[in-house]
Amino acid sequence: MRSLEGTFPRPSEAALARTDATLAAIPDDTRVLIDGLALGAMPVEVARHVSRLRLLGLVHHPLALETGIDRETAARLHASERRALAAVRHVIVTSARTVSALADLDVPADRITVVEPGTDPAPVARGSQSNEVRLVCVASLSPRKGHAILFRALGMLRSFRWHLDCVGSADRDPQTDVALRQVLREEGIEDRVRLVGEADAPEVSAYYDRSDVFVLPTLYEGYGMVVAEALARGLPVISTPTGAIADLVTDDVGVLVAPGDIDGWREALRRVFDADVRARLATGARAKRARLRRWEAAAAEMAEALVRHG
């Protein structure tokens, strides 16, 4: 595995030069899978090495669909990613919904293989074990994750007993961090919402364990990995029908709300604040744990796709 700089998908010239050097150091005829976060921003480097390396792309969602970027940046990313994807041998995506999204980048379906992620077995969350409903959101602080929508909805539900932990890096988009803290102040809920920041795997596991409901107000996802992780803990879920979330979150395990719908979030939260509703959804989520796809199956499918198309 080769790690690239964290500046992608907006790399500096120096980052691109180091990426080019990384590719140059890989022996000829090696099969190389490049993550889409970097791939779409490096079409020149891909073109330079495509004739001697077996390059494939792994796309979670098109870069131009990121929320919070201006039209000029979106257009530049669209053109860049289109060039890069045209050059690689094959494209692997993490959900069937991404196949249609890539049609806009002129990638035909016969050049795409869907390999959905898996989950690790995990113990059932013990929950807050109190009268206060403990919510957890695991997502970096960026406009696409929709935290402000959730905060506005919770601001209308101050009479209920709840607490929210938001686990996720604020470093990638400091402006969003500042804006979200302002929303919390405006809604008068800054003492009930904790922006935890980035956490390692054991810490994230601990947050899942002491929570009662998982929430993800995302505006767009390629798959929705954290939703699957929450279900692996037997947690009820409130989220949006984007990526594969619509397939994961059925009526027996959670509630889906249209992206950006603050009133819809208010009503969904109000529903799960009811102990009977929450218990029913938790029962469904725990039953679904055994049916979740495991990483062993995902890894086997990925290996097969790499051999077949690389």
CATH number of the domain encompassing residue 41: 3.40.50.2000
- Those residues whose C-beta lies under 8 Å from the C-beta of residue 298, and which sit 6 or more positions away, are 115, 116, 117, 118
Buried b (16+ CB within 10 A) or exposed e, 163-195: bbbbbbebeebeebbeebbebbeebebeebbeb
Computed over every residue of the chain, the mean pLDDT equals 94
Q: Which domain holds residue 205?
A: 133-291
Nearest to 85 by CA among 115, 59, 113: 59
Distance between CA atoms of residues 154 and 148, nearest Å: 10
| Distance set, CA 68 to CA 76, 142, 235 (Å) | 14, 8, 30
Q: How confident is residue 70, by pLDDT bands cut at 50, 70 and 90?
A: confident
If you count DSSP H runs as helices and E runs as strands, how many of each does the chain have, helices first? 13, 10
Residue type, 194: R
Are residues 301 and 281 both part of a single domain? Answer: no
d(C-alpha 48, C-alpha 84), whole Å: 11
Are 28 and 152 contained in the same domain? no
* Helical residues (DSSP H) of 90-224, grouped into ranges: 96-103, 147-155, 174-187, 201-209
In a domain, 191, yes or no: yes
Give me Rg for the CA atoms of the chain.
Answer: 20
More confident residue, 67 or 70: 70
SS (H, E, C) 171-208: CCCHHHHHHHHHHHHHHCCCCCEEEEECCCHHHHHHHH
Q: What is the pTM of this model?
A: 0.89
Tokens, residue 68: 């919070």
Question: Is residue 128 a part of any domain in this protein?
Answer: no
Q: 4-13: string of b/e by CB count within 10 Å (b at 16+)?
A: beeebbebee
Residue 226 CA to residue 255 CA, distance in Å, equals: 15
Per-residue confidence band for 11, with pLDDT thresholds at 50, 70 and 90: confident
Pair 262, 140 in one domain: yes
Tell me the per-residue pLDDT of 95-145, one tens digit each, with 9 for 90 and over.
988 998 899 999 999 999 999 999 999 999 999 999 999 999 999 999 999
CA distances from 252 to 93, 236, 288 (A): 27, 9, 9
Same domain, 273 and 226: yes
Query: Is the same domain home to 146 and 286?
Result: yes
Q: For a pLDDT cut of 90, what percent of the chain falls above it?
A: 85
The pLDDT value given to residue 238: 98
